[in-house]
Chains A and B, each alone.
Chain A
Amino acid sequence: MLPITIMLFLLVMAGVIASVKANATAKMLAVGAFAVAFGLSAALLSQSANETIRLVIGAAPWNIYVLVTPLAAFMVCLFVGVSLMVVWASANLVDYDIEPARIPMYYALVCVLIASLVGVVIFGSLFNVFILMEVSSFAAAGIIVIKNRPENMRAGLKYLTLSILGSSFILMGIITLYALTGSLSVTGIHQSLSAGYAGNEVAAYNALMFITIGVALKSGLFPMHIAFPDAYSIAPSVSSALLSGLVQKAYIFFYIMVLHKAFGAEILLNDRVMTTTLQLVMILGAAAMIAGSAMALLQTDLKRMIAYSSVAQVGYFFLGVGMGTRLGLFAVVFHFLTHAVTKAMLFLVAGSVIRQTGSREIGDMAGLGTKMRVTMALFTVGALSMVGIPLLIGFNSKWFFAMGIFDSSHIWLLAVLALSSLLNGCYYLPVVVRAFFGDTGGEAVRLRSVRECAVRGLAPIVCLALLVVAFAVISGPVSYISIGIDSIW
């Protein structure tokens, strides 16, 4: 019952927090809720380390089916752990972004969002997964529009529309699979597909196509990314950290589960149409890596630049999934960890900078390193990790992607990977250089009033930075993820 408990606990806490009047109490309750949930998910992680947890509630065929592979347990831990850090950091940031009367509601929405992401990951029945995806779309749009300004409404509506469009495609795919196999649980679909695949190829192709388009829309793969830079840059910084760091990963995880648990490797990798689809996904991923970075180069707004960087990172995920090899998938899951930790940290730093200086422009950041030393040092750590400097987690990710590419038959992707890293450096490093060595000039007067963040705001970001370093040198995540990959292959 542990996986369900985590989800229900967060939902109950959402209700409790929404009914609280005092903002300080709401913040404390939220941090407490995520701390407890993190304890529970750590227990889940150790419980499922060696085996897949299967849990059936109710009698077949009308039941709720929970399927927690070691990989799913890892995702739960990642979601809850990163959101614990983000919520802790938010205690210092939300007051700047959100009007006081809405703060309890904001934390309630965050709890609902994370609970739904946990649900997407733990359920083995596509029906439940779909419902929770819809809940997460709502909650995600909610934490964008919580800042009561017209451009937030616009970004929220755009995000909601594309997200719902994606859900519609996913539902269409799920129904096609149901019509084909008569089952909604991933294991049931897999059994009936491997028993009677011959003759039913076309329906399976349709299902794969619908689900691929849906996931691409929902997670913002390159040509369908239009809603995401707006959403990430306009939303409050705390929301940006959650949306960019966590939400897309649940959908991509769902995609991996459909590919490797429902279809299964032997169908997926031996069918010519399916491998072509996967290659298309891979090429779109490669295009996203270049195009996202190129667009990030053009931005003058700090948060918008980081948002476009997220578009590029989504390309990495689809690249790895599309390679269709075990090493590629391993790289993707490791990159989940990298991107969640690093991107959450970068958005929180950007939020702190905007809060302390009141400006979002990269041009205004000249000389900021002399005033906000720790904050900008943290930004440097995040930026270097995104570029892929050794001893930071981003390097490990890129290394695993390179290994995956060597393992596959597409060596040309190495050039894409190298070019993408180079472009990452081209837009992240100038910010760092400008902050520490930039000519302050006439800006000196304005900078005089800028202060470093309070320690309580910096502490969680420092923790994330320590994780960026720690996960690069300890082998725990690597061995755990490889167990996880074995469990779904």
Chain B
Amino acid sequence: MGLITNFYEATAMILFGIGFVTLLLQKNLIKKIIGLNIMDSAIFLYLATTGYITGRGAPIIIDGIVYQDAYVNPLPSALVMTGIVVAVSITAFALALSLKLYEHYGTLDMDKIALMSRGGDV
């Protein structure tokens, strides 16, 4: 254990923190979405690191020969792939909603939008 041997995990955690803070503290919607993406990348890094075992290959089975010990479990990689797909669709959805908000309010600042909609112009 220790920071040097686990630097992938440490990096992942730091990135997660950066993304989390960006998501919560930024007022601009686009920056919020960027924060969300940084957070997702941190999780994928953590997941990919967790799933890899040094010295083992990809689980591509040729000639029907299966030595389970020679392969890494493909499940974490599959999780990362699925996670990326989910993250992309979330980004697209969130951007589409931001676009709608921008069309109506003319700003991407969440505080201004909240003020305007409280002003009763909707």
Interface set of A (CB-CB < 8 Å, partner B): 61-62, 127, 131, 134, 138, 141, 145, 149-151, 153-154, 156-157, 160-161, 164-165, 168, 171-172, 175, 178-179, 182, 184
Contacts and interface: CB of A to CB of B under 8 A. Distances in A.
B14 interface: no
A464 B51 CA distance: 48
Nearest to B80: A175
B34 interface: no
Contacts of B76: 175, 178
Contacts of A168: 16, 39-40, 43
Contacts of B28: none
B76 to A, nearest CB: 7
A141 B92 CA distance: 13
Given A62-B74, A161-B36, A172-B46, A154 B117 contact: yes
A153 B101 contact: yes
Interface string B31-42: 010001001100
Contacts of A160: 90, 93-94, 97
B47 interface: yes
B43 A175 contact: yes
B89 A157 contact: no
B117 A62 contact: no
A179 B50 contact: yes
16 contacts: A127-B82, A134-B86, A138-B90, A138-B93, A141-B93, A145-B97, A149-B122, A157-B29, A157-B101, A160-B94, A161-B32, A165-B20, A165-B36, A172-B16, A178-B50, A178-B75
Given A62-B74, A161-B94, A150 B86 contact: no
Interface of B: 16, 20, 23, 29, 32, 36, 39-40, 43, 46-47, 50-51, 73-76, 78-79, 82-83, 86, 89-90, 93-94, 97-98, 100-101, 104-105, 113-114, 117, 122
Given A131-B86, A184-B75, A150 B105 contact: yes
Contact of B75 (A62, A138, A157, A164): A62
Main secondary structure of the interface of B (DSSP, over half): helix
Nearest to A180: B50
A272 to B, nearest CB: 23
B93 to A, nearest CB: 7
Nearest to A148: B100
A171 B23 CA distance: 17
Given A153-B104, A168-B43, 8 more contacts: A134-B86, A138-B93, A141-B93, A156-B97, A165-B20, A172-B43, A179-B50, A182-B73
Contacts of B83: 171
B98 to A, nearest CB: 7
Nearest to A127: B79
Contact of B98 (A131, A141, A157, A184): A157
Nearest to A142: B93
Most chain A CB inside 10 Å of its own CB: which residue of B23, B89, B90, B122: B90
